């Protein structure tokens, strides 16, 4: 009771004193360091063309419904360069040092959300300009409402690099420093063509505006992971693999897709992952043939079905991407096993072929050739050259701050972290024997090209072979004792 009175007193004093009582949230200590982000800005500066400036805007806040927004997620490029995770901000990185009126110079400047007592009462502490200086070590920091009148002559640059405005950005009518206004102010400063200078999306025609080069430059940086990034990626991947393991032990006929999704995501939270890196895909039977099936609402999974589970934990911004396909009753049927082992053979060969200096197309073609030949051998297609939709997607993509991360897909290089994910999907009414209908298999693993130029499997904690999966699925689960009451009873 004494603590309750103490907390109430602190609340009253905090509000009445004119100072925000909101305190710094206690967070984990293994985030990327401010030195990491500073180094990334230096690497960007080195890659910029002469006499240029790169401009980055924070991500927009997204409305879910009425007065409820989605949980905020920072723009990956913005976070990569700053570590700042609040909205309504703009960052400028200059190729060459800029002079201030007092003769001092700077190579970067950021405008951020100001402290606000009322908002912090509801949503938590903001850093403000002083907090950003201290925590993120940027050179020049101002509150965002000062961007409007900041004396920056953009016409002196040969190139202004930025990503064009494609997203829905809402105007907060009472906030002159929100993202909407920052964009409008920027467009006014660079003479961005628009009828009334308030449209957010017309294509620029001013000669020094470049909306294309920045993605390639950032891809060259983000596509090669530093040791600090690999530590976070490994944590996300291990958490995701543990989720697959726990579901394999807990799986039994009659479960719902939603329940399976919930087990995965419980494991994510249990081990400290803040979010899912993308909407979870849990498809049983024919639902597994829908590549991005995210409804996950089948109320009762049949014992004869496979269930395809494509989920990735996001840890400190870095996301894994791991898929396993398992038999609901714990035992693959002959047809399920044949398809599964064909996909596994394609994945194993493609993974081994993903070495430094090799074109991304080499393992992709190898996996497709193995699958096509296997489908012929099983009588599902007539020839290896037959067009079909049983393997309709690509083999690999980078992972990192995005699940489909930015990076070059020309040749494999040391420090790349990417997926290897072949699959076979045979929907109902396909032009083959109906014994194959409803079989959907994807096996997706996360791979690192190490310092020796070789592929290293990072998600191997989750079993991949038929024998390993079936063996694990007979083990008891701690969730076996988790009994739900009948929620329909009065």
Known catalytic residues are 67, 292, 310, 321, 393, 397, 404, 421, 425, 442, 444
Contact 97, 106 (CB under 8 A): yes
- Tokens 């102010």 -> residue: 185
Cross-strand pairs, 254: none
370: burial class by Cβ within 10 Å (0-12, 13-18, 19+)? Answer: buried
A 10 A CB-CB count for 86 gives: 17
- Tokens 């308030």 -> residue: 198
Record the tokens describing residue 385, joined without a space: 């050259």
Query: CA 77 to CA 83: how far, in whole Å?
Result: 10
Give phi and psi for 319, each to the nearest 5: -115, 140
Which helix (DSSP H) or strand (DSSP E) does residue 107 occupy? strand 105-112
The whole-angstrom distance between residue 86's C-alpha and the CA centroid of its chain comes to 17
110: burial class by Cβ within 10 Å (0-12, 13-18, 19+)? Answer: buried
Q: Provide the pairing of β-strand 52-57 with 439-442.
A: unpaired
410, 413, 415, 416 alpha-carbon torsion, rounded to 10°: 30
Contact 186, 211 (CB under 8 A): no
Record the tokens describing residue 425, joined without a space: 């999907």
Strands (E), 105-200: 105-112, 140-143, 159-162
Give phi and psi for 49, each to the nearest 5: -70, 165
Which residues lie below 8 Å from residue 461, measured CB to CB, with a gap of 6+? 238, 241, 242, 245
Contact 173, 143 (CB under 8 A): no
- Tokens 């714990």 -> residue: 330
Nearest to 324 by CA among 222, 390, 241: 241
């Amino acid at each position: 009771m004494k603590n309750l009175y103490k907390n109430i007193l602190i609340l009253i004093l905090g509000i009445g004193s004119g100072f925000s009582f909101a305190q710094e949230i206690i967070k984990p200590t293994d985030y990327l360091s401010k030195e990491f982000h500073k180094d990334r800005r230096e690497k960007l500066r080195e890659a910029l063309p002469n006499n240029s400036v790169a401009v980055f805007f924070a991500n927009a806040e997204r409305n879910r419904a009425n007065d409820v927004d989605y949980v905020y997620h920072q723009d990956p490029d913005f976070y990569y360069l700053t570590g700042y995770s609040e909205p309504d901000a703009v960052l400028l990185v200059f190729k060459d040092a800029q002079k201030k009126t007092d003769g001092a110079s700077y190579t970067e400047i950021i405008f951020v959300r100001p402290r606000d007592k009322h908002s912090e009462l509801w949503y938590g502490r903001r850093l403000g300009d002083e907090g950003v200086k201290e925590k993120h070590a940027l050179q020049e920091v101002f509150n965002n409402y000062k961007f409007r009148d900041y004396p920056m002559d953009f016409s002196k640059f040969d190139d202004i690099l930025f990503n064009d405005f494609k997203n829905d950005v809402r105007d907060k009518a009472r906030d002159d420093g929100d993202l909407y206004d920052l964009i409008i102010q920027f467009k006014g400063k660079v003479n961005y063509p628009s009828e009334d200078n308030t449209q957010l999306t017309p294509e620029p025609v001013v000669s020094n505006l470049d909306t294309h080069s920045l993605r390639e430059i950032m891809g060259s940086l983000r596509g090669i992971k530093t040791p600090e990034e690999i530590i976070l990626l490994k944590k996300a991947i291990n958490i995701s693999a543990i989720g697959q393991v726990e579901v394999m032990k807990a799986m039994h006929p009659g479960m719902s897709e939603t329940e399976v999704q919930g087990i995965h995501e419980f494991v994510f939270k249990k081990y400290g992952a803040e979010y899912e890196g993308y909407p979870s895909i849990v498809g049983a039977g024919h639902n597994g043939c829908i590549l991005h099936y995210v409804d996950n609402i089948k109320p009762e999974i049949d014992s004869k079905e496979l269930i395809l589970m494509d989920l990735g934990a996001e840890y400190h911004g870095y996301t894994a991407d791991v898929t396993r396909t398992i038999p609901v009753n714990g035992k693959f049927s002959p047809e399920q096993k044949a398809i599964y082992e064909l996909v596994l053979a394609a994945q194993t060969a493609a993974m081994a072929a993903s070495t430094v200096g090799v074109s991304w197309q080499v393992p992709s073609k190898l996996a497709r050739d193995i699958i096509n030949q296997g489908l012929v051998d099983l009588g599902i297609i007539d020839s290896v050259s037959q067009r079909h939709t049983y393997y309709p997607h690509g083999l690999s993509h980078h992972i990192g701050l995005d699940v489909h991360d930015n990076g070059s897909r020309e040749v494999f290089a040391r420090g790349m972290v990417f997926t290897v994910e072949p699959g076979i999907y045979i929907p109902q009414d396909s032009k083959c024997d109906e014994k194959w209908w409803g079989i959907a298999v994807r096996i997706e693993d996360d791979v690192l090209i190490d310092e020796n130029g070789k592929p290293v499997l990072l998600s191997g904690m989750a079993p991949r072979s038929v024998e390993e999966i079936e063996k694990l699925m007979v083990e008891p689960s701690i969730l076996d004792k988790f009994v739900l009451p009948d929620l329909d009873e009065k």
